Amino acid sequence: MSSQSSYEYYGPDLAKMPPLRAIAETVALDPRVRAVTAAEAYELALAQSDVCVTDMPVYPPAAKRLGLPEGARVLNNCHGRIVGRSANARRFLNALTPPDQQRVLGDLREAMFDFQKRPLIKAHAVLGLDRDLMIKATLVGAQDDAVNIFNWLANFTPYAELAQAYEKSAKLPIQDILVVGDNLWANADPYYHNHGGPQLALVDEKANVIFNLGMRYFGERKKGTLTLAWTSGMRLGMAACHGGIKEIDFSDCGDARARAVGRRTVAFFGLSGTGKSSHTNSADNGGTLPAGFKKVVLHDDAFQIDCEQKVCRVWEPTLFDKTDSRPIGHPDWRYIISVMNHGLVEVEGKVLPLGQDLRNANGRALFDRDLLGAYVNRCGFPDLICWLMKDSCLPPLMRFKSPGLAVAMGASLMTRRNRAENVPEEELAKLVFVPFANPFRVYELWRDVRAFAKVFEQGAVGYCFNSGGFWKASDMDLRGIPLATSLRLQTALLLNELEWEDLAILPGAQIPARASVEAILPGYYERYHPDNVENRVAYLATIRSRLRQRMAFLQSSDLHDKPGLLLSLINALGVGGGQDD
């Protein structure tokens, strides 16, 4: 199903078109703004001062899909101070007071007046690879920012590639998405975010429009576009997911117990650096999956859950991944399309990108989805939903036998920021709340709560992985939780290998029972049981404090507009376990 143009959507009464959309359309439809293909954007990017060409080849199937010349080489786009997302730069037009709306709209018109003095280009893409969920999107940028146009087309799907299927599909009650990006915008008004440089991400989620001003980082274009796609899916009644999801089929396994499990779908929700991609993309969960299994991945970052059809649908044909753990020679480089903010090194006469964050934090790359092995554009409804958190009070794995607690913990997901985000250094040490691990939500939290409550009501079971460390003697003195341990626990969930016991400190939560977990991870129970922590009084005080923080966060959110929904979450987070002994 496809989206609608402005005229189609607002046609019965064009006076209802919001000003932000009218401003974006006016720029996009200027006949001097030339539409470019991915190949044309690539050629233009070669002339950019902040782009250099490496000797690493673009993954040939991707190069062919994008129309690049044979032997096309990977581009490296490097920035200055800012090498991550600036969430604090977002301003939501519909949430502003009337005076602030007028100020911002005036500043925006002035910005576009200056923007249109320069040579501009645009590109059209299709978001979504499943025939029942496709949205057309347009990105407008300056010719001297062609690399962001190229990366955007590579990240999504150039319109021409899916034009025939798209134009034959039925219309969705959703507008096309419009994105405008101007890297050179500057504004000294302290009303706008200015950490590392003036920046503004101006959003009208109801009009499906976003302006990225003063933002060089490609992640702003990608996540800005995805934000509007996720929101569109939410408007259609689907749950928006900043997560990874895969299906494992055990039907052909030689082991009878595994074979009896059949097919399981598992989803992981977490911020960058919490293990979302590691859990989703691992070929065999560190060698712990039984012989004969089959795996398909939908995506490791973004999808939509359709509770009516009981399916999940993907938005993108690529992966936008951190490369800090991919040294030269790593097999993933075979699937490369483009890199950002990478150092370079000469190896045997060839200039190659350094993937270990040596130039700066948050080096990123676009990889073709072939990296995942077998993949699909839609998959089954999730059997398991896993929140990935960095909270030292939580054991490595918990199960929520209460659906209400599963939703409450997702809505108050606690983690730490990382260098994928443009925040002051001191912010990186703080615990923050990012509901459902989606920092790109632009609508009311209660809508996400209601959407995920429906997911759990329809049979998904909730879990939580702590991907940081677990309290040993203090919040800073932690027991490490190796990725290999988490992957083995994931396999245990998929194969139903664990028995469960109640967690006294949090009614409705459970942890693996001793015999079942010791059978697969000897020493786990003693090492990670909350009863065995040192400095227990401080531990109990801290975990109760964090539960109260979760409650306070939910109470301070827009959930107060839905008191019944809020009360159900607060009740689910009730603290048990007796006195602080």
Q: Which two tokens stand for residue 434?
A: 């990012």
How far apart (Å, rounded) are the C-alpha atoms in residues 374 and 354?
27
Q: What integer pLDDT is reported at residue 170 of this predicted model?
A: 87
CATH 3.40.449 residue window(s) in the chain: 2-238
Give which of 340, 318, 377 is closest to 62, Cα–Cα.
318
For 221, 292, 319, 340, 351, the CA distances from 51, given in Å and listed in that order, are 17, 45, 21, 9, 14
Question: Which residues are bridge partners to 306 per DSSP?
Answer: 311
Mean pLDDT across the chain: 94
Cβ(269)–Cβ(437) under 8 Å? yes
Residue 579's pLDDT is what? 35
> What mean pLDDT do residues 74-89 have?
95
Polymer length of the chain? 581
Q: Give yes or no for residue 329 having a pLDDT over 50.
A: yes
User: Is it the case that residue 431 has pLDDT exceeding 80?
Assistant: no
How far apart are the C-alpha atoms of 465 and 276, rounded to whole Å?
10
Please give the pLDDT value at position 272. 77
What is the mean pLDDT of the segment spanning 436-453?
95
**Residue in 138, 103, 139, 140 with CA at minimum distance from that of residue 118:** 140
String of DSSP letters for 442-510: -S-HHHHHHHHHHHHHTT-EEEEEE-SEEESSSSSSEEE--HHHHHHHHHHHHTT---EEE-TTSTTEE
The Cα 538–Cα 465 span in angstroms is 22
Position 432 scores a pLDDT of: 85
Q: Span 383-387, mean pLDDT?
A: 98
pLDDT at 424: 64
Q: Strands 431-433 and 414-416, how do they pair?
A: antiparallel
pLDDT for 427 equals: 56
The pLDDT tens digits for 52-77 are 999 999 999 999 999 999 999 999 99
**What is the reported pLDDT for 118?**
97
Give me the CATH code for the 272-295+383-572 domain, please.
3.90.228.20
Cα–Cα distance for residue pair 562/237, rounded to 1 Å: 18
DSSP one-letter code for 289 = S
Nearest to 227, CA basis, from 217, 211, 240, 236: 240
Q: How high is the pLDDT of residue 417?
A: 55
The two three-digit tokens of residue 31, written as one number: 């006949």
423: pLDDT strictly greater than 70: no
Domain topology for 2-238: Phosphoenolpyruvate Carboxykinase; domain 1 (3.40.449)
Torsion sign (Cα): 539, 544, 547, 551: negative
Taking residues 480-487, what's their average pLDDT? 97
Separation of alpha carbons 410 and 550, rounded Å: 10
Q: Tell me how far apart the alpha carbons of residues 434 and 447 are, in angstroms, rounded to a whole number.
A: 15
pLDDT tens-digit readout, 167-223: 988 899 999 999 999 999 999 999 999 999 999 999 999 999 999 999 999 999 999
- CA atoms of 500 and 386, how far apart (whole Å): 16
Residue 322: strand, helix, or coil: strand
In this predicted structure, the answer to whether residue 580 has a pLDDT above a threshold of 80 is no
Q: What confidence category does residue 416 fall into, taking pLDDT thresholds of 50, 70 and 90?
A: low
Cα 176 to the center of its chain, rounded Å: 21
Lowest mean pLDDT among 204-208, 354-358, 502-506, 575-579: 575-579
Per-residue pLDDT of 514-565, as tens digits, reads 999 999 999 999 999 999 999 999 999 999 999 999 999 999 999 999 999 9
- Tokens representing 362 are 């948050």
- pLDDT beyond 60 at 578: no
CA distances from 571 to 436, 506, 511 (A): 19, 11, 20
Residue span(s) of the chain under CATH 3.90.228.20 come to 272-295+383-572
pLDDT at position 402, please? 92
Residue 199 per-residue DSSP state: B
Proportion of the chain above pLDDT 70, given as a percent: 96
Residue 581, pLDDT score: 32
What would the two tokens of residue 380 be?
A: 């089954």
**Which of 62-66, 362-366, 480-484, 545-549 is the least confident region?**
545-549
pLDDT band at 425 (very low <50, low <70, confident <90, very high): low
The whole-angstrom separation of Cα 9 and Cα 125 is 19
Dihedral sign (CA 131, 137, 143, 146): negative
243-289 pLDDT tens trace: 999 999 999 999 999 999 999 999 999 987 888 999 999 999 999 99
- pLDDT value at residue 379: 97
Side chain identity at 195, as an amino acid letter? H
Predicted pLDDT of residue 422 = 65
pLDDT tens-digit profile of 33-58? 999 999 999 999 999 999 999 999 99
Distance of CA 162 to the CA centre of its chain: 24
